[in-house]
Chains A and B, each alone.
Chain A
Amino acid sequence: NAGVTQTPKFRILKIGQSMTLQCTQDMNHNYMYWYRQDPGMGLKLIYYSVGAGITDKGEVPNGYNVSRSTTEDFPLRLELAAPSQTSVYFCASSYSRAGGYEQYFGPGTRLTVT
């Protein structure tokens, strides 16, 4: 099993550009999550999904959009990139609610907006 995979690993965007961060898991997990990790800070939840077709906002959703058309894929869309979105983005998945079930994380996407 590949687990959770993310692409790209690195990306530099200009202010106002848009992009999609890809996330795929092959563990047949229902729950998927997007986090951002800023230097010296804990991970912050952006969006999560409890299954195909169902998504919900996390702690810091502004400036992002998600979709979940399949169990495996959970892309994160940035429409108008801003310097405040410079961060490392992690996708994760879990069998059920992450409180009691381990979250499996992808390797991360390092995004710089200039």
Chain B
Amino acid sequence: DAGVIQSPRHEVTEMGQEVTLRCKPISGHDYLFWYRQTMMRGLELLIYFNNNVPIDDSGMPEDRFSAKMPNASFSTLKIQPSEPRDSAVYFCASSSPLGGPHAFFGQGTRLTVV
């Protein structure tokens, strides 16, 4: 398996624009997580899904952020409109109870909002 695949790896956008981050989890994993990493706040869990259903979105900073998982092999994290303070590295991770309680992480998307 190729692991968790995120795209794009880098994104630079202007304030106010819509940004969409994409994630393909490991095949067979039924949990998917979106994290954000910043120098100030470290790694924060934004939202996670189980069997494509959002379970806990309490980490989503505000209504500008939304996440979807239309099927087991694809998820998106959208920011609309984007702001400079959204600049961070966004990680997607997936896991399966059958594989143990740890998660497998993608390489991340480095988002810069100017």
A and B part of one assembly: no
Interface residues of A (CB under 8 A from B): none
